[in-house]
Amino acid sequence: MAKILRRERLVPNIHLLEVHAPEIAQKSKPGQFVIVMPDEKGERIPLTIADWDKEKGSVTSIFMVVGTSTHNCKDYIPKTLKNIITKGSKINKVISIGCTYLMYTCSEATKPYGIETSVSLNPIMVDGTGMCGACRVTVDGKTKFACVDGPDFDGHLVDWEELFSRRKSYFEDEIKSLCHWEKNNFPS
């Protein structure tokens, strides 16, 4: 297990995690991700690398804990984005990173205006090498694997309907797992 160097809550559901991972820090490039596990039996979670420090040997990710706050703010950014576009601001490219619904709505907001939109997909990944196929996504009619072909893709070319459908297949298990964890960590 990598040593946690810093853990910080930035806002209620957004957290920063910096870990000591010198081998990864030496090879990190923009747009890459790491797979983390909260403990030895935990789920493997892909997190986009937000920063790295080769000298310190650290890798930093910023991630959202999905829940009520995600639901409450899911429409805020794309509505705001449409306002900026329609007011005549010159926008060359939008980079959307976050929950799947947020990236979808940002892509939908920019599509009518032909604004290049990059999304960073983070579907469930098992091995991170493209062998398991769990992170399969259709982009421009072609099968891609977020772990090796991405995670960044043109948001206008992603088959969002298929991606939402695939993500729903794990939803019930994720809710059960969260309820079990909360029951064991926050007893009444």
CATH code assigned at 34: 2.40.30.10
- Based on the domain organization, do 60 and 91 belong to the same domain? no
- Based on the domain organization, do 79 and 58 belong to the same domain? no
Range of the domain at 163: 70-171
* Lowest-confidence pick of 10-24, 36-50, 157-171: 36-50
pLDDT in tens, 39-52: 676 667 777 888 99
- Based on the domain organization, do 129 and 83 belong to the same domain? yes
What is the count of structural domains for the chain? 2
Q: Give the pTM.
A: 0.60
Sole residue written with tokens 């493209």: 130
What distance in Å separates the CA atoms of residue 7 and residue 174, rounded to the nearest whole number?
23
What distance in Å separates the CA atoms of residue 122 and residue 33, rounded to the nearest whole number?
9
- Based on the domain organization, do 60 and 82 belong to the same domain? no
Tell me whether strands 93-96 and 142-145 are parallel, antiparallel or unpaired: unpaired
What distance in Å separates the CA atoms of residue 130 and residue 107, rounded to the nearest whole number?
25
Residue 181 included in any domain? no
- Based on the domain organization, do 77 and 163 belong to the same domain? yes
Residue 66: per-residue pLDDT: 60
What distance in Å separates the CA atoms of residue 99 and residue 118, rounded to the nearest whole number?
14
